[in-house]
Amino acid sequence: MARKKIALVGAGQIGGTLALLAAQKELGDVVLFDIAEGMPAGKALDLAETSPVEGFNASLTGGNDYSIIEGADVVIVTAGIPRKPGMSRDDLIGINSGVCKTVGEAIGKYAPNAFVIVITNPLDVMVWVLQQASGLPPERVVGMAGVLDSARFRYFLAEEFNVSVEDVTAFVLGGHGDTMVPLVRYSTVAGIPLPDLVKMGWTTQEKLDAIVQRTRDGGAEIVKLLKTGSAFYAPAASAIQMAESYLKDQKRVLPVAAHLSGQYGQDDLYVGVPTIIGAGGVEKIIEIELNDEEKAMFQNSVDAVKTLVDVVKKLDAEKS
Ligand code: A3D
């Protein structure tokens, strides 16, 4: 079987980590594209030189011409600018929407059969922009946020309960931003829902509320510590899990920013929901029952995403 091809558009902090993980896991050959001259080729060469030490078989190349992404099976997009301290994800919209439009057009031209994972912020609206520009079917264009947000939630919960991260499942819904909705009653330790663990005295409601808030602020916590950019290891690992589920038809149940066309009462909107990711891309969007409080939180998150979509539409109208 020929090796798969993974194209990384944006070879910065996340792009470099994606390349390392994809190669180490032998998901396929990796190409790195970036507008910074020489940098993607330099990173690719440096990474390729780890292969004799790490013992993986994957070629890594990089360049500044979009034609290098030709025929890719998976494209992961991190092109754009990240947050600096004091910035919200939404502050990035002006620059990053232009970048995602250009990248979408290039993917439509060179890799129309790819499964595309967008990471560039503000996430939900950037996936929408890129899908529109690419002309690819919506089930093959998704955004990475929910896997990361739920990984953060799981990590904090595992720390609180002093149990293995592997036994904690967590469920996060909605847009990737301050309005994201960590769903406590669908999150468990070995199948025991969190509200039951509060009743069992494993933690208190106050501590649980603090963990939920820390999850919502998880990105900002890292930005504040790093000072020069935003998180990159966990975002890269999360996108690789999505890519692997597609490439190996694993049919993992993963929360991703998926295109809604009627589900959850939304139309033509990308927002974080549970999905099944397999060889068909988003093979199913799972619609769960929400109680009134959860519905209100989800709607609040959806409204935040819609506001940003309107900003992009306005920017577009001003340009034309
Ligand atoms: P960074 O290290 O700056 O890498 C971005 C790269 O994009 C740089 O190498 C730029 O040269 C390149 N670039 C800029 N414009 C273009 C263009 N037009 N075409 C191609 N490449 C271009 O940032 P990063 O890797 O840390 O973050 C990348 C993006 O991911 C940012 O928008 C972050 O906000 C976002 N991010 C999202 C999450 C989510 O969970 C959704 C988490 C962390 C970061």
Run means of pLDDT, 10 residues per run, the chain, 320 residues: 96 98 98 98 98 97 98 98 82 92 98 98 95 98 97 97 97 88 94 97 97 95 94 98 98 97 95 97 96 93 93 85
Report phi then psi at 162, rounded to 5: 55, 45
Q: Which residues of 156-182 are buried (b: 16+ CB within 10 A; e: fewer)?
A: bbbebeeeeeeebbbbbbbbbbbbbbb
Provide the pLDDT for residue 86. 83
Provide the pLDDT for residue 315. 85
Provide the pLDDT for residue 84. 79
Distance 87 CA to ligand 1 centre (A): 15
Provide the pLDDT for residue 309. 92
Provide the pLDDT for residue 66. 98
Q: How far is CA 107 from CA 140, 278, 316, in A?
A: 12, 20, 20
Provide the pLDDT for residue 285. 98
What is the set of active-site residues?
176
Any ligand 1 atom below 6 A from CB of 272: no
18, 34, 116, 227: residue to mutate for ligand 1 pocket, most atoms within 8 A of CB: 34
Any ligand 1 atom below 6 A from CB of 12: yes
148 vs 146: CA distance, rounded Å: 5
According to DSSP, residue 120 is labeled P
Provide the pLDDT for residue 308. 92
Q: Which atom of ligand 1 is nearest to the CA of 145?
A: 40
Atom 1 (ligand 1) nearest CA: 12
Provide the pLDDT for residue 193. 97
Atom 42 (ligand 1) nearest CA: 235
Any ligand 1 atom below 6 A from CB of 230: yes
Q: In which residue are the tokens 């000072």 written?
A: 227
Provide the pLDDT for residue 266. 95
Provide the pLDDT for residue 1. 84
Distance 106 CA to ligand 1 centre (A): 17
